[in-house]
Amino acid sequence: MIVAKGRLGNHEIEAEVINPGDWFGKTWLIEIGCGFSSSFFAVEADTVTDAIDEFSGSAYGHLILIDDADIADYLEDGEFNGYYNDGGQSCDLDNCMVHGEERPGRGEYTPWACVYTGPGLPEGFTPIAYSRVEAFCEGCGAPCEYDSHVCLCEVCQAASEPLT
């Protein structure tokens, strides 16, 4: 599992990355309010609405998707005037906040500044760097640029050296 680490105001945040590498490292922070606390998720997407769509289609989508049996609770004058995701499903965004700074026309950037951490990833690995990785080592999980999927880390080198 890849975890994004960053800040939200004065708070250190750790958020599971829903779709690492899927949108060139353009990472948004999704906050789902759960009573007195919140759950955080990082999503790579082009825009805020794309981030909501990606999140709603993930394993955690049930946190914002409205069940058909409950849709009557959300109707005003017989109509649902809320948000529909890209699949046409209605979403409850009352307890959902997307954090990040939109900067159109500025090239590569990460709307929510963070670094990715996880098995084999070097310290301070940015989402943009993650999106550029061509492959991951089969031995240690570290990013590599080799078709063989074997990196040059000390662990893999030691494992590949013949015993003498």
Query: Which structural domain range is residue 156 located in?
Result: 134-164
Looking at the structure, tell me whether residues 113 and 160 fall in a common domain.
no
Looking at the structure, tell me whether residues 142 and 72 fall in a common domain.
no
> What is the CB neighbour count within 10 angstroms for residue 52?
23
- Give the residue from 32, 10, 33, 15 showing the smallest Cα distance to 110: 15
Looking at the structure, tell me whether residues 140 and 73 fall in a common domain.
no
Strand partners, 127: none
82-108 confidence digits (pLDDT tens): 898 988 899 999 999 999 998 876 667
17-65 confidence digits (pLDDT tens): 999 988 988 999 999 998 788 999 999 999 999 999 999 999 999 999 9
Looking at the structure, tell me whether residues 119 and 142 fall in a common domain.
no
pTM above threshold 0.85: no
Identify the sign of the CA torsion 126, 128, 129, 131: positive
Looking at the structure, tell me whether residues 120 and 143 fall in a common domain.
no
Q: How many domains does the chain have?
A: 2
